[in-house]
Structure 1
Amino acid sequence: MTRPFSATDAKRIIERHQNIIEKLNNAVSSVEKYRTKAKETSDALVAQEVLKVLADIPIEEINRDKRGIRVKVLRDYGYRTIADISTASVYSIASVHGISEDAAYSIKSIVNDIVSKARQGVKIRLSTDNRSKEATALVLALSQYRRSQKVADECRQLLNKNKQTIDYAVEDLNSSTGTLKWLLSSKAKKQKATEAYNSLIGLINGDYGSEAETQISNADVIDRSLNSDAWQDFATNSVRFFNDLEDINPGVLGNDDSMYGLPEDLAREVQEECFFPDGLLCELRRYQEWGVKYALHQERILLGDEMGLGKTVQAIATMVSLRNTGGTHFVVVCPASVITNWCREIRKMSLLSVTKIHGTGRKAALQSWIKSGGVAVTTYETTAYFEPPEDFKFKMLVVDEAHYIKNPEARRSINVKNISMHAERLLFMTGTALENKVEEMISLIRILQPHIASQIQGMAFMSAAPQFRKAVAPVYYRRKREDVLTELPDLIESKEWCSLSHNEELAYEHAVLSKNYAEARRVSWNVDDLKDSSKASRLLELVEEAESEDRKVIVFSFFLDTIRKVTMLLGNRCTNPINGSVTPQRRQEIIDEFDKAPAGTVLVAQIQSGGTGLNIQSASVVVLCEPQFKPSIENQAISRAYRMGQTRNVLVYRLLCEGTVDEKIMSTLESKQAIFDAFADKSVAAAESQQIDDRTFGNIIKEEIDRINAKYGNTK
């Protein structure tokens, strides 16, 4: 039998296959290489942060217990802070004149203890605004790790599918590579060698060879990744980055509470709950998956996570899991202002079908949903018309902004309760449970789990106590942003105090003396010409600065007239403004336009309309035109930008005028906020909303009238 290939050809094709297999194996093992790199770089970043803390601790701290350590000679030698000592060896310290080797060991022991305590309080924060060398190294490693996993999976599949075939073919061909081997081989062996050679050639020239070349190239591209590409990857996939980092280096983000505040027994049960995410089109944070398992396990709950933590996606993921275990029908009840947002989020984040039941076609939409299933999204107003057949059951009812039904006597509360009778499971959600009285929270729990409501009814007076929190844990679950999203970039708040011009002062004083409350609150914006407005001048500066930093801006005001003036002032920098007259669908369209707009673009919104229920992470500058009467309104507005998915520091600017009601409102609000924060620190509802009421503001106006009259010697 004539040989159709040379010995050199045979050796070459064997070597080529072996080389490909080696590179595919290297791509598979690279995942562990990048994982190790991410662990080391995250440790290095932590070490850098610890050194920053230690650099602020003077060397004198090692002698706090008056151990007789000669601190002065250490300082004279150049050891001025704990950071200096932490990086020095025992022998370096002992070389200081007057410090014995024994003392050096004692000093290092004291410092190591300080370092350990400092390490416990340090957590990593990654932000596109802080691209230090250490942070960049970590982001690069995480980007490489993330991307290498997909390549490794592809390479593993190629190997699993083809390696055995290649090994057998190489073995058959290898036995006939030499001339003498070929001559002495039987006809059958020669035939097998020829088939093996053709098989190996076919693999190289076919799909296997092409795909292997692609994946090897992909692995090489990952290995040569640029820092700028890694940061771009982080900006796009920050959730995955933080999930990977938590997995690689647990606790490095500072959120190492594996039970997320639940009692141990309940936490163990929740942890063992099964979650089936097939059909969920987004990645959950670890605490979000925990929230989903809590909802699945407890069945009837009030999820009170702070705004920005992703209650919506937890609800969607819960419905997805239930859909995968046989559930067919789900209902979401929400305020009309966010019905469009809910429909979009469900479609964006899952494969669940959505039916909007609202407006003139609500009856036909309800019948269509009953017939076809999926998620029915309706509003509180429409619940009066949401009347499924008496014997009809659906899997779960989600009630967004559940504090809307805090009053059991209200018509919408009765309507929602009637709908809940058809539901097997209930998921109430509110980020503003702290606005309610404890009795109102108990009212919600009474719908969910009446026996718990009865149990805690007599404990309302001790709502801040651990006993109360433990009692409500099976039904009420609240996580704070600072506890579970410790990796969020910094929220940097600034008070921009402006000085009144002569014309502003005249307009302001006229408003106060006329007891025109609204005009007085619109200080600086109530002038005829905005060239005279100090707040308008400062806003222009902030917008220009934001544009230079590739940022977008949201401007909030309570007053429609201020919204109009700001929009006119900024001209074509602005998108269309959002106010109460803009429909929910149009609001979302405006936000979509804003998301696609270039840096320097401004979204102007009435704070009651644009400050709730919408996600605007593309903005990283928030400007408040005047102080609000309720701390929660400002907090909600800020949370439109400062929420999960934000990868930049969020800058908040409050425009304020000295010597006006702005100053007095802020002073009052700060004391109210302190009370609000005291309640917010507890995972329970606050006893009472903290706000400025009309009477309080009336007193502020009276004080201002007295001040102005005194200024003019009672002539005005």
Structure 2
Amino acid sequence: MSSDLAEAAFIVSRESSGTAERIEAVVASERAGTWYERVVVTHTGTADDAAITCSCPDSPEAEGADCSHAHAVLVTAGRLPPDLGPEYRRITETPTVELAPAPTPEGTAEEGDWFDLNLRVTVEDREISFSELFTALARGESVLILEDNTYLPLNTPELEHLRLVIEEARTLNDTEPNSLRLSRYQVSLWEELTELDIVEADQNSWWRSISELTGGVEDQEPPEGLNAELRDYQKHGYSWLSFLRRHQLGGILADDMGLGKTLQALAMIQQTVNNQNSDTEQDSAPFLIIAPTSVVSNWEREAARFTPGLTVAVLDETLQRSGVTLNTRIAEADLVITSYALFRMEAEKYQQAEWAGLILDEAQMIKNPASQGYRAARDLKVPFTVAITGTPMENNLLELWSVVSLCCPGLLGTREQFTEGYRKPIEKQQDRQALQRLQQRLSPFLLRRTKETVAAELPPKQEQILELELTEEHRRIYDRRLQRERARILGLMDDLGSNRFKILQSLTLLRQLALDASLVENSQAPSAKLEALGELLSEAVGEGHRVLVLSQFTRFLTKARATATDQGLYSAYLDGSTTNRGAVIDSFRSGEASVFFVSLKAGGFGLNLTEADYVILLDPWWNPAVEEQAIDRAHRIGQRRNVMVYRLVAKDTIESKVMALKESKSQLFSQVLDSSEAMGRAQFSAEDIHQLLS
């Protein structure tokens, strides 16, 4: 037997029968800091011929083998009188952990953001040090030796679960050794604690109300002033957003493209304004919406359509250039809309204003925590922040952390804590438990519905018009050329029949110029349409959708495909010059290509592309029937999914005039503007021409 005593033994019981002795003990390893509860050592025979066994995990199976645990037990037993009772008594009562959460003190930097849990552990009517208990749990010890020669077993499922939850909470929240606190966003951690049988929680009113997040937010009726009928899932999304705003919590609305995220947010804003007007809430500051440049006008149009009673201020140029202060621009506004670029340039001025809330549309735009845009959004002082994005994570988990840290600060800890606790285990070790834990922590604050989950509520086909502002340089080029072509066409108006081809030539040139300045002039001006297309493709493909992109102009279609290639998306391309038409179509149908670029002439007939559930029209077509025919490549018999159609329209160009005229005179366009032959048969007035060129 080993003479090197590496363990200390605490006798619990001993029984003798003849030459046999059975000793039960607790053994502590002085070297490893490991506790083994209730080790049983049996000793039979004489000192010269002994048989010794030990039930410890490290004991060899052979009797009489060298075992330092058995050695420690026998040495300790030998020092005690035979008639002495157990040295240590085992506590059989289950401990109780009491939680009494209290907000962080007023006047501190974290006031209202955190709750001190004020843990108190009791057993047998006495209090046990929480710090000592957690230290023993964290070290993996199986018992906690108390001062009165009693010991508490720690290897129970309840205490192990408590250890895991507390360990996570302390990892995410830098707390003092003798205390524990939770961020107000760590709802699922709190719920997990309170559901343990050994925990008694004194839940204050805030925690009780916030528990609705995990139990299911009750749906509300749409607010007065909302000019839309919400589908059931949209009503739930609006109610969820309203709940977050009411409790000044942030969240991520991550619905699929085309499910009405903008409408749900506008409904929440309308309800807030209604409450302010009825004195239910005193705060009358406006909401700030930050969106990609290509989407700003869409927010303006959707607000005018769905919430016409809201006062909207669109900041589409820098305050310095406008010569007006921010407070003047947003005075009386319920809703302020600007772009990420403009917000980033004058972030300090936005930080000085008071806001009712912040909405980050396409929040993946600021997913880089080192970027200026991320820092500007993080430093903005707002009661609550909502991120709207169908793809909160595109490449790695750090992108998800970035978005969450803006909406729900403290939920996932610091960047370093998140990396160690979640990113490395999930990305490098495929740790399913870590992934499940991350999903559980996020679930109260992330609402995501896919087209498939709400398909029963959707119409077979949905359409959305995205009006895009031309870039500054592009606008100068377009306006200059518009003046020239307008003068040319008006000079040909006296004889429309003879000049039909020249008029069509000028109209076509303006249509191309509205798409991309480089199609007409030697210019490197950025194209708003290509920028918007890139954002749409990134989100749609990121969500697992298949996309059909259509245009009349093959030169622009080629540039559009290059945009997809730059994003690492594999695509198929079909125009009138394609020779291997069958192979190209098969590459999309088979799933090899996620995006299919098709020209009008090549794709107008004979194509059945029900694999696509998203259709993007890069330019408006003169003939509505031709547009519908192109859309029907995807939306036709055999399509089992809902089809989402996006029409990209360059604002304040011939495209927007075409859309307006097409709405009022669809029959005219059906007869006249689809081809040169139709142009020759045209019977349209000078007023129509003037409207196109206005």
TM-score normalized with structure 2 length: 0.36
Greater relative CO, 1 or 2 (CA 8 Å, sep 6+): 1
Structure number with bigger Rg: 2
* Bigger proportion of residues as helix: 1
